[in-house]
Amino acid sequence: MQKISVAGAGIGGLTAAIRLAKAGYEVDVFEQKNEPGGKMAEITGSGYRFDTGPSLFTMPHYIDALLDKEIGFEYRKLNTLCHYFFPDGTFFACPADRHRFIQAASETFNERGDAIQKHLNHSEYLYKITAPVFLEKSLHRLSTYTHPKGIRGILNLPFIGIQRSMHAANSSRFSNKNLVQFFDRYATYNGSNPWKAPSTLNVIPHLEMGIGAFFPKGGMIAIAKSLHRQAESLGVRFHFGHTIDTICHENNQVKGLMVNGIFHPANLLLSNLDVRLTYRLLNLSLPGKIKKSEPSSSALIFYWGIKKKFPKLDLHNIMFGSDYKREFQNIFDNQTIDDDPTVYINISSKEEASDAPPDCENWFVMINTPANRNQNWEALRIEARKRIIYKLNSTLDCDIESLIEFEEYLDPVRIESYTGSTFGSLYGSSSNNLMSAFFRQANFSGKLKGLYFCGGSVHPGGGIPLCVLGGNIASDIIIKNHHARG
């Protein structure tokens, strides 16, 4: 039986561990934290529970494909995607159903329904063209491009929007600035700037409106817990609280791991760690394309226990800033936080009442920030908190400060410290380059035999669905290259 070590118990590592165990591998997972999930974690206090990481659940069939029915993972589809608050006072309760969305968006933003439908049709087209090639397969293997779907993808490259920015595409289709801002926001789903990211990212609306958004019973952490239970049922061994000191290699071959000062031999290693951290542990220089890549945005998140209920708010809420272009310029060009940042509020107690005491709500309050480049984060956090509270008070006509009875926070420094994500970036590299998808680390090493990669900082990218797909791709390559039995 082939043995393999997995470094990191994030979503990609859990996915790969399950698939490798099912293929007959003996799998050991080493994780520095005391629980699985990577960025997907939780905190509790004063009767409140918060998911600390990802808050949006799409493409649930990818998780279903990994789990046996007896694991008992449950989720429900949302009727409303998000409540949007625009600077000019426009309010939009975004329906999850595509047809209802077209009607509601047409009425709210005074745009032609057929124009909105055409945009969503194009989003679906992008998904059908790009998913089989750019998401579900390795971009670094010839077989991807000789497959019929790969050939189709190559032939359609001129039509998938890699030659102009997301904002340029959206502003050419719609005259209403609020609707343009609405669709531009999807660039933040992988930590990018819509004025620089290719319009191929307009694939993302289809994931929400064409396939749907969902809420898992027990909160987002239930995803990681379910994957962990599945892996354990297959015999995967987890070593929590085990920090990897070094990845050992000799003569271009992986040899094992030094973990908490103890050597663990391993000829096969799948790293679910941040790719820059992996190269540091290997004591190897970063490949040039990764070294030059721009980090994705990071985040400042406040976890507030609010001793009041707000009927105007839903599970997902967005309060837009007044100058979206300036906001992204500050994040990526000026490496600071805008004076009027867009605020995202996730309130899981809207769907899971036990996440907050009676007549209270658990607020996950987030703004996008630059990656950590040694800014004065304490000063930035204090100032941003004031501006966030001012925006909330103005929008909701209340005194939020007086309602906060529990508080915790994450900033880029803490994100980097807690998760190993270099610079505290949420998605590894940004997509602020027309060819950024090709600049990510492949799911295998071209230099070291036995070394493979998955996770949000490598192909195909960050977020729950892409991390699952990365685990799928890496495990497929491993199974093809190394028979489990023989």
The full DSSP string for 462-479 is SSHHHHHHHHHHHHHHHH
- Residues with Cβ within 8 Å of residue 134, at least 6 apart in sequence: 153, 437, 460
Rank 129-133, 197-201, 450-454 by mean pLDDT and report only the highest: 450-454
Q: How confident is the model at residue 484, as a pLDDT?
A: 60
Q: Is 437 in contact with 431 (CB distance < 8 Å)?
A: yes
Helix, strand, coil % in the chain, rounded to nearest 5: 40, 25, 35
Among the listed ranges 13-22, 98-107, 251-260, 429-438, which one has the minimum average pLDDT value? 429-438
Alpha-carbon span 261 to 238, nearest angstrom: 17
Question: CA-based Rg of the chain, rounded to a whole angstrom?
Answer: 22
Q: With 70 as the cut, is the pLDDT of residue 242 above it?
A: yes
365 - beta bridge partners?
302, 345
pLDDT-based confidence at 359, cuts 50/70/90?
Answer: very high
Q: With 60 as the cut, is the pLDDT of residue 152 above it?
A: no
Range 76-93 average pLDDT: 98
Angular region, 195: left φ>0, alpha ψ -120 to 50, beta rest: alpha
Give the number of other Cβ atoms within 10 Å of residue 87's Cβ: 18
Q: How confident is the model at residue 257, as a pLDDT?
A: 97
pLDDT-based confidence at 393, cuts 50/70/90?
Answer: very high
Residues 224-236: tens digit of each pLDDT: 999 999 999 999 9
- Provide the residue ranges of all domains of the chain, joining segments of one domain with +: 3-38+221-293+429-481
Q: How confident is the model at residue 145, as a pLDDT?
A: 45
Q: 15 φ, ψ to 5°?
A: -60, -50
Among the listed ranges 143-147, 304-308, 456-460, which one has the minimum average pLDDT value? 143-147
pLDDT-based confidence at 140, cuts 50/70/90?
Answer: low
Q: 5 φ, ψ to 5°?
A: -105, 140
Q: How confident is the model at residue 486, as a pLDDT?
A: 41
Mode of pairing for the β-strands spanning 316-319 and 80-85: parallel
Instruction: Give whole-number Cα distances, 273 to 176, 342, 370, in Å.
Output: 42, 30, 21
Q: With 80 as the cut, is the pLDDT of residue 7 above it?
A: yes
Better-predicted residue by pLDDT, 306 or 190: 306
Pick the CATH number of 3-38+221-293+429-481 from 3.40.50.150, 3.10.50.40, 3.90.180.10, 3.50.50.60: 3.50.50.60
Q: 234 φ, ψ to 5°?
A: -95, 5
Angle at 123 between CA 300 and CA 110, to 5 degrees: 80
Range 268-285 average pLDDT: 96
- pTM for the model stands at 0.94
Instruction: State the number of CA atoms in the 13 A half-sphere of 281 facing the CB.
Output: 24
Q: With 50 as the cut, is the pLDDT of residue 189 above it?
A: yes
Range 111-140 average pLDDT: 84
Among the listed ranges 163-167, 222-226, 269-273, 481-485, which one has the minimum average pLDDT value? 481-485
Angle at 376 between CA 374 and CA 379, to 5 degrees: 160
What does pLDDT average to over the chain? 92
Range 99-109 average pLDDT: 97
Q: How confident is the model at residue 151, as a pLDDT?
A: 46
Range 430-440 average pLDDT: 71
pLDDT-based confidence at 130, cuts 50/70/90?
Answer: confident
Strand boundaries in 149-243, DSSP class E: 213-216, 237-240
Q: How confident is the model at residue 129, as a pLDDT?
A: 84
